[in-house]
Structure 1
Amino acid sequence: MKRLLAGLACVATLASGCGLATAGGYVPDAELAGPLEDVEGLDGASIAIGSKNFSESILLGKIALILLKAAGAEVTDLTNIPGSASSRQAQLQGEIAAMWEYTGTGWITYLGHEKPIKDEREQYEAVAEEDLEQNSLVWLPPAPMNNTYGFAVTQAGKEKYGIEKLSQIGEVPVRERTFCVESEFANRPDGLEGMLRTYGVPRGKADGVPGDNIQLYQTGAVYDALASGECTFGEVFTTDGRIVSLDLEVLADDKQYFPNYNVSLVVRDEVLEEHPQVEELVAPVTEELTNEVLLRLNARIDVEGLEPADVAEEWLREEGFIS
């Protein structure tokens, strides 16, 4: 816990060179209810929660913050950290006690494995075992939701090409075989190049996907580019609310190329040892985090423009976890 407090002091003095920048915002007040009503023992606990700087991660961070605060903990909101590398380093250094993380990210990006494990449960168990052993981080049981990468087409594109799965990409004429992707995805080991190779349309090949067919966009801009016809295929996250609002069709990953990205609350081991109630607090909430739930909640943020904290609070109240 001393390392955690030292990390919080580091966060409070960013100008001294600690390097963690965040804009967390507020945490609503609430009381625990329903299956969480009898959770006790967190009064006076000091717990910092972090997240990355995209809507779903911030939303999940707010859910954890609201629950912990309602249970009596003194919470520090360090959500909205720019980038995976910064947030991961902050947790490794003890600046944050817990944050939601994705099994695929942990296995490939953080632990350095090249090949994902196709079975969801086996992937979770492998990353949980290795991260605990190497970094003293505990991965609590994962949610059903799987926010993995995918590729989508518009309804017009689906009708024009008769396409429903990624193995049909090769049936689209080469000059119309165009892709809108984020720059990170274009270069990461589990990204575009491996996907195209797996589905028989290698990048840079005249009969595959020529380099000029690939357009790079900033995070989030892919959806509008796809919807407006800038490309035939757009990289998406499978729980992004804009899939619903823009009426996009996610193509089936019929060769199971993309890793599993089930989300789990990852807690520093010494924090969980001192406050085991954290697991009891988040377990029933985690079980309700399905793809359908996250699609709806993410849409409220990205499409309707609501604040993640408000969306988190409203959902927790609807589900009877707080009052």
Structure 2
Amino acid sequence: MAAVQRHVTEFCDRFGLQLPILEAPMAGACPPELAIAVAEAGGMGADGVVLDPPDRITAWVERFRAGSAGPFQLNIWIPDPPIEAPARLRAAEEYLGGWGTPGEAGAAAPVFAEQCEAMLDAAPTVISSIMGLFDAAYVERMHARGIAWFACATTLSDALAAQEAGADAIVAQGMEAGGHRGTFDPAAAEHTDVGLFALLPHLVDRIRVPVIASGGIADGRGVAAALALGASAVQVGTALLRSPEAGIDEGWAAALADLPPERSVPTRAYSGRLGRAVPTPFVTAWTRPGAPPPAPYPDQRRLVGRWRRGAATGVDPVNQWAGQGAALARRAPAGTIVQDMWDTACALLA
């Protein structure tokens, strides 16, 4: 217990936390109200900005700071090298045609360099990355402004690379986690399916910087187990999605209730990048015999967006991400969820 308390206290003191629970930065499901609730409960709020242009990043931060002086992180994907696969793109487009007529193309994707500048200007407690590493010059600028870098890793080799590149903490993402898997190599995602409680001690024993546990943690028992295995903090996402502050689509929220761990599925159907989701009819349709593989990222994301904006039926209106702990997600205020997690963890660790 003493070692656990030391790791937790050092981490919380360093990053301005009252308790070691971080909101996962879920793009499209992190309104400022959710981040404020987590931060006001003593944890760290978050926003996933991969789809946000600079003005939207700035607006989110202003709304957060109007409601809380607590710590928060902004998270972004490191861009994948472009994949040219015209045959896969055509096949996916033809398959989507079975759901109806597509709408107009959406707005151009935000420019990564501009997003990075907006994050620096916002001066959050933490800028975090997934799918790869920031370049050395950006890390130096980040640190010069007093901003920490948290890097997501799903393997020891990725974690070591992030540590050597200057990461201040590693987010150890187990395969139980909802949403996108953070492998640096997009083609390797299916093969890096390591559970959190195997990955966590493997990293803790070999990494100098603090390790944050992420994946399948949805109550105080998971928090206690992760801290006992050497994590300095935990990051939770699916556990917060049924809170009123999250404000997600009601169909998605209902699908999380009582979803068994074995029912959430890894899929590329929404974006072309592998992520864990609810097995909706749309998601499972891409696994039927004769179905084509989804187009690569970001082509698949753009295609699905077009059909959502068109005259289509059966295309999920939102990405229904779900971690394997979804059945533990509660309809309760986010602050209550976070505090209950910590109270239960403290009782167990004591």
Is the TM value for this pair above 0.5? no
Larger Rg: 1
**TM-score, normalisation: structure 2:** 0.28
